Amino acid sequence: MKRYVYINDDEASQDLYCDNRLSNRKYTLLNFLPKNLWEQFSRFMNQYFLLIACLQLWSLITPVNPASTWGPLIFIFAVSASKEAWDDYNRYLSDKKANEKEVWIVKQGIKKHIQAQDIHVGNIVWLRENDEVPCDLVLIGTSDPQGVCYVETAALDGEIDLKTRATPATCMGIDFELLHKIKGVIECPCPDKDIRRFDANLRLFPPFIDNDVCPLTIKNTILQSCYLRNTEWACGVAVYTGNETKLGMSRGIPEPKLTAVDAMIDKLTGAIFVFQIVVVLVLGVAGNVWKDTEARKQWYVLYPNEGPWYELLVIPLRFELLCSIMIPISIKVSLDLVKSLYAKFIDWDIEMIDPETGTPSHATNTAISEDLGQVEYILTDKTGTLTENKMIFRRCCISGHFYGNEDGDALKDVGLLNAVSSGSPDVIQFLTVMAVCNTVIPTQSNTGDILYKAQSQDEEALVHAAAKLHMVFVNKNANIVEIRFNASALQYEVLEILEFTSDRKRMSVVVRDCQSGKIILLSKGADEAVLPYVHAGQQTRTFTEAVEQYSQLGLRTLCLAWRELREDEYAEWSLMFKEASSTLVDREWRIAEVCQRLEHDLEVLGVTAIEDRLQDGVPETIETLRKAGINFWMLTGDKQNTAVQIALSCNFISPEPKGQLLLIDGKTEDEVFRSLERVLLTMRITTSEPKDVAFVVDGWALEIALKHYRKTFTELAILSRTAICCRVTPSQKAQLVELLKSCDYRTLAIGDGGNDVRMIQQADIGVGISGREGLQAARAADYSIGKFRFLKRLILVHGRYSYNRTAFLSQYSFYKSLLICFIQIFFSFISGVSGTSLFNSVSLMAYNVFYTSIPVLVSVLDKDLTEGTVMHHPQILFYCQAGRLLNPSTFAGWFGRSLFHAIVVFVISIHAFAYEKSEMEEVSMVALSGCIWLQAFVVALETNSFTAVQHIAIWGNLAAFFVINWIFSAIPSSGMYTIMFRLCRQPSYWLTMLLIVGAGIGPIMALKYFRYTYRPSKINILQQAERMGGPILSLGTIEPQPRSLEKDISPLSITQPNSRSPVYEPLLSDSPKTRRSFGRGTPFDFLQSPSRLSSVYSRNCKDN
């Protein structure tokens, strides 16, 4: 589908396309209530509670006042609806501000001031310096004589460097006054969200130009939300407006991610629902049997001899209403609230603020913090994620001569400096390619210094290095590049730019030497994209050796080449290139095919080697997280040897003989299959040996493996703790994440650039680094951090605490609901199995929403271990990964506790106050008081670290219970008149409370004491060590010696499976099992990290 935009013609486009009114609102005043209710009732639990509330309106079956369910239901719905309304109102205010912004447009040759929302497709929009772009524009004029302007795209893609945009060639030279009257048509695709692509054509109508077609690319556009910088004015034609802009099309609500804890809660809810149905059926049958056999004999029951046809359903439905509170109505609101607090804790963590940039961590997704504590695989990018993305030119090889090998800095190499000063032709040509073959923009500072704006850090490093070697990129005026070499000035006319793509892996420019008139092709790119295309007479062995040598040092390599073109050859090729650039279908593929026709018979000039240093703390972070049982995969576009050396330097893999790296390669299906089989056989054998085994695969072999041998590769992925995937594309990164997720692993993907976005969005948890490549990855991620080293704290501290707290909160919510429900069930046995409620409606309504919610909400402050202990002993993360704190076994424990406590409360309350000793309302209040007292002590017993807030919440809530009930007892119409006053005056009431607490908490404390003393877990041991003090604190933080990239790293041989040594040191138990004393005569057994290769760490053994 195409769109035809008629320039400066209101009638042709106004009715066809939308105006520029932005609307990101989800609701309107008319549809808010029905739409919000529809969304809330689309959830099963809300449907269930609505059904229960509706059944309670049937007076024949309801055992309590309908308000006991309708009240909490309306409260919870109101809270959710209020949150949605507030968020939507803020979106409305943001839209209103953008829509009412004043802009200049041209109508009928006259400039007018209008609101941004009144812009239509085809209007000419005028921008001044620092103006925000109101819609997507095709540039047609600027204040620069060369038709260039500068834009800041940080709001669009997060990249902070200014980018250049240029007017199309057909608009060059049009007078300023004539821009008001310009007419033409733009043929472009329908709106899409690809901010890096715009394949269109422009035709201007006479008298400007005679219908000649001019191709348009993304470089001829200024997109919505960008800012015009360093340019006095610019004007463009609106092609996409309103929500049809590229930014508007990319907006949307991401798919919600379901955490492992949420999935487990859903399963437990389903199990409770089945249990509830069984109980209802059993009690319903028992109630009907008792009614027909016993109740009709009792004169006071007054059952009629004959009832309606639905009489048999009355008692079961009563029990359904009574037992409906088994599923806590407040659990979703409680979980949403505490998860929001978990996210705020991450935002507020001052220890996760990058000291260099001041960038804090940020949680974009507030619903998945507990999943951080269950991560099993981390898939990481390399450049900018593990490294600083600060490129430094280190070494080079020119015409077989190596420079920089002695001191690691080619810019100080005497041989290279002498070659430059003597004017060596090979060196001069090499430096010319470095200075000219790029898209760098030189600018001058206020002091006169030349500054370079580059979208690629590699290009900036090469241009800076060339400048230090006296080949200075001075200026760029339109297509003329000015170079200053020593005292002479050189000029090149840029004829064409063959841009870099991930498929071609090279970038070229066609230039004309203004001095000699010769046309030259300058190229740079990866070795596999350049060396195969050299002319027949050139030997490339030296350059191949240079690439291998530099890669072994972990340096990034580029090959530089050139060739001279004939005039007729270029003229013929230029026509094909223009035709390919003008097509609207498969333009990128057509351009790549045409570029291939020119980039051949190259003469290689040399190889550059650029260093990208590791970030601080990366080796320590990876080592710590590997001890926590987390597996690492590196997914990078770099060469294999470079990636391997970086992996060695950051503790990703171990050098020989402790580690073994297996290679998967091949160019055909058979070669890849044989390689996979060999590696898989070795992996199967090595699982019984304590050896750090990893595999490395390149993008070509990976493509074949995923397409034809997915099952085999999946088995290999499960067996390997570490993998290095080189030369991979963004889509392959996402495929690998999806592969691990299909094996039911919790994955975390971390990256810093736009090419990592798909991987980040595909993973269970996406983490973006706010780096030098911009904020695109950080904005697409669930969490953003300033440096890779903060990942350790994000997982071990925030992730683990969030999981522990959520596991307790969710199971406690079921416990308190089951407790009150079991008491209702027990009461039915002494009330003729009639479905009568022991508790009044007010008490039931307040029980879940107020009495028992506040103490547990402050569990978000609880810490079972101090942060220091958690960071020093990362192995304890295994309890979270294996789901040890929330699973059917632990839930069965809470289920049993609720049943036991219900028996205690019911038996003691009935024997103390029932059987004509008091009124039923008093028995009800005694039982309710016993529940509140028990739960206060349960929360206190399960709390590991007390703060003043927790004490106030627990004991203050207990006091508030009495205050509230004293108030209700003073109201005659409340149904509780004088009840609490009478009870509090009786010593037996207080003795009953003490007896309930003693009988209910005593056995729990005894079991805890037995477990802590005789069967302690590793966490219990660490807790005891913390309380006793001493050695845990005295261990301190062990700072490993920093590892140099070029020294202290033994080279890792890429071995085949048949070259294995039979004896290896134990590696997979990441920390040796040592014994330390933390008290007199008491041994302290440090933990060993569980491994995926160990049978202990199997998914079938995740029990308590």
Q: What is residue 303's predicted lDDT score, i.e. its pLDDT?
A: 63
Q: Are 335 and 352 in contact (CB under 8 A)?
A: no
State the Cα–Cα distance between residues 446 and 955, nearest whole angstrom. Answer: 66
Beta strands in 699-805 (DSSP E): 722-726, 747-751, 765-769, 783-785
Beta strands in 361-457 (DSSP E): 362-363, 377-380, 387-398, 401-403, 441-444, 450-453
The DSSP call for residue 132 is B
State the Cα–Cα distance between residues 1017 and 885, nearest whole angstrom. Answer: 12
Single-letter residue type at 232: E
606-618 CB burial, b ≥16 within 10 A, e <16: bbbbbbbebbebb
Q: Are 140 and 237 in contact (CB under 8 A)?
A: yes
* Torsion angle in degrees (nearest 10) through CA of 661, 666, 671, 676: 30
Alpha carbon separation from 1017 to 1014, 1033, 1074 (Å, rounded): 10, 20, 17
For the chain, list residues with pLDDT below 50. 1032-1104
Q: Are 128 and 142 in contact (CB under 8 A)?
A: no
Residues 6+ apart with CB under 8 A from 355: none
According to DSSP, the residues that pair with 493 across neighbouring strands are: 480, 512
Handedness of CA 972, 976, 980, 983 (dihedral sign): positive
Q: Are 798 and 345 in contact (CB under 8 A)?
A: yes
Mapped onto helix, strand or coil, the DSSP state of residue 733 is helix
The encoded tokens of residue 478 equal: 């339109």
C-alpha gyration radius of the chain: 36
| Catalytically annotated residue among 131, 161, 371, 381 | 381
State the Cα–Cα distance between residues 664 and 678, nearest whole angstrom. Answer: 9
Single-letter residue type at 108: Q
State the Cα–Cα distance between residues 353 and 358, nearest whole angstrom. Answer: 6
The encoded tokens of residue 283 equal: 């009690």
What SS3 string covers 785-811? ECCCCHHHHHHHHHHHHHHHHHHHHHH
Q: Is the bond leading into 355 cis (omega within 30 degrees of zero)?
A: no
Residues 6+ apart with CB under 8 A from 962: 980, 984
State the Cα–Cα distance between residues 809 and 882, nearest whole angstrom. Answer: 18
State the Cα–Cα distance between residues 693 and 697, nearest whole angstrom. Answer: 14
Give the side-chain half-sphere CA count within 13 A for 41: 12
State the Cα–Cα distance between residues 664 and 498, nearest whole angstrom. Answer: 33
Alpha carbon of residue 585 to chain centroid = 34
State the Cα–Cα distance between residues 639 and 517, nearest whole angstrom. Answer: 38
Examine the residue annotation and report whether 426 is marked as an active-site residue of this protein: no
Q: Are 427 and 636 in contact (CB under 8 A)?
A: no
Q: pLDDT tens digits, residue range 947-1000?
A: 888 888 889 888 988 998 888 888 887 777 888 888 888 899 999 999 999 999
State the Cα–Cα distance between residues 833 and 829, nearest whole angstrom. Answer: 5
586: left (phi over 0), alpha (psi -120 to 50) or beta: left
State the Cα–Cα distance between residues 224 and 151, nearest whole angstrom. Answer: 11
According to DSSP, the residues that pair with 590 across neighbouring strands are: none
Nearest CA to 1025 out of 957, 943, 1084 is that of 1084
Straight-line distance from the first to the last Cα atom of the chain, in angstroms, rounded to the nearest whole number: 59
Tokens 């736009």, located at residue? 754
Mapped onto helix, strand or coil, the DSSP state of residue 389 is strand
Tokens 């420079």, located at residue? 403
State the Cα–Cα distance between residues 312 and 296, nearest whole angstrom. Answer: 15
Reported residue count of the chain is: 1104
**DSSP-assigned states of every residue in 92-145:** HHHHHHHHT-EEEEEETTEEEEEEGGG--TT-EEEEETTPBP-SEEEEEEESST
Alpha carbon separation from 838 to 317, 326, 841, 847, 926 (Å, rounded): 17, 16, 10, 13, 11
753-768 CB burial, b ≥16 within 10 A, e <16: bbbbbbbbbbbbbbbb
Q: What is residue 568's predicted lDDT score, i.e. its pLDDT?
A: 92
The encoded tokens of residue 291 equal: 């009614």
Q: Are 1058 and 662 in contact (CB under 8 A)?
A: no
Nearest CA to 226 out of 101, 121, 130 is that of 130
State the Cα–Cα distance between residues 954 and 933, nearest whole angstrom. Answer: 10
The H or E element containing residue 67 is helix 67-99
Q: Are 634 and 382 in contact (CB under 8 A)?
A: yes
Pairing assessment for the beta strands 722-726 and 148-152 based on DSSP bridges: unpaired
Q: List own/partner pairs for 356-364 with CB under 8 A and 24 or more apart.
A: 356/786, 357/770, 357/786, 359/770, 359/786, 360/786, 361/783, 361/784, 361/785, 361/786, 361/790, 361/794, 362/778, 362/783, 362/784, 363/782, 363/783, 364/779, 364/781, 364/782, 364/783, 364/784
According to DSSP, the residues that pair with 184 across neighbouring strands are: 7, 204
Q: What is residue 1067's predicted lDDT score, i.e. its pLDDT?
A: 26
State the Cα–Cα distance between residues 141 and 237, nearest whole angstrom. Answer: 10
Single-letter residue type at 1056: Q
Nearest CA to 645 out of 382, 381, 447 is that of 382
The DSSP call for residue 296 is G
Q: What is residue 450's predicted lDDT score, i.e. its pLDDT?
A: 87
Q: Are 1074 and 1094 in contact (CB under 8 A)?
A: no
Single-letter residue type at 839: F
State the Cα–Cα distance between residues 325 and 329, nearest whole angstrom. Answer: 7
Alpha carbon separation from 384 to 403, 636, 757 (Å, rounded): 26, 11, 14
